[in-house]
Homo-oligomer: A and B are copies of this chain.
Amino acid sequence: MFKNRASKKAGLPPGTMVYVGKEQAGEATVSMIQYSEQEAEEVSVDVRNLQIAVPENKDRVTWIQVTGVHDLALVENLGRIFELHPLVMEDIVHTMQRLKVEDYGDYIFAAMRAMHPYDEQICLILGPGYVISFQENPSPLFDSIKERIMKGKGRIRRLGAGYLCYALMDIVVDSHYHVMESINERLEALQEDALEDYDRETIHGIHALKGEVFRLRKSVWPLREMIGRIQRSDSGLVTRDVSVFFRDVLDHAAQLADTVENFREMLASIQDTQLSSLSNKMNDVMRVLTVISTIFIPMTFLAGIYGMNFKYMPELEWKAAYPVFWIIVIIMGLGMVWWFKKKKWL
């Protein structure tokens, strides 16, 4: 959905930092990890008195993980240290930002959306020898990477800042799988319902799911183009070795996009099927009504005839009248039934 908050900013001078997002009470924290192929250490950072310098030794990689982007002062300080463009800082704190990757020459800025455990904006800045990640909530999203770096597992310590950036993005992309599975389950449930026993709930369920798939698509579709832009970037920040890995995350993003398309097609198919089913069911209902009415209405008319009180109605006096009446009625009824059977209405 379109967020009202987006308009909060309309008219403000560009580059004005305004936190756009849910009200936040938690304190912002910054964690910093520095590592080379041989060693890794976590450096404690005082949020109030930021003592970070732009890393100069390109052999060491510095990862600064900022949690709590509502702390404008913190973001501003970082921005000054790393000479970030005002628009980048504006985008970081505007947590309803459109997904994007922008190459500022010295660094690459990426705004993405994690889906799990929190649905939140993740911003990444990849510079020479450093990566800065911005998130709002203190989520364990990147804990596995931290662990891999500290324990020196895998090739993460060997391949530099580009690989770290890739690893973070991979996590963010993979966070969509969780949501997709839950959508998948609801979709399958809906499908059963839609084919078996449909009612207002199913109809509303389809409508709601459509909205969610649409929202998901908005967060999944730009991924391919974004990641491709990083991969093809000629800034030298992404080496050839790392580029292969970006191709892999590109592939995951493409698979996500395929799956979302799949959901859309299925929802459309379910809705079509439901409409056909509704029509078919209505047909059944109407057929029953028509058959019953068509059989009994003429008979009732006949009975009404002989219920009239005219003085001179010769049939009334006949001895055989009543049985003959029954015979006629039964023949009429059977004839109708035969006719309906022929028309396949019964």
Contact = CB atoms under 8 A, between A and B. Distances in A.
Contacts of A247: 102
B301 A296 contact: yes
B312 A303 contact: no
A158 to B, nearest CB: 12
A152 to B, nearest CB: 12
A189 B318 CA distance: 59
Contacts of A177: 6-7, 10
Interface residues of A, number: 114
Contact of A292 (B245, B297, B322): B297
A61 to B, nearest CB: 16
A297 B293 contact: yes
A160 B148 CA distance: 44
A279 B214 CA distance: 25
Nearest to A209: B269
Contacts of A296: 297-298, 300-301
20 contacts: A7-B174, A13-B156, A14-B245, A14-B249, A98-B258, A102-B247, A203-B276, A211-B269, A214-B269, A279-B282, A286-B286, A288-B290, A292-B294, A297-B300, A303-B308, A304-B304, A307-B309, A310-B315, A310-B322, A312-B321
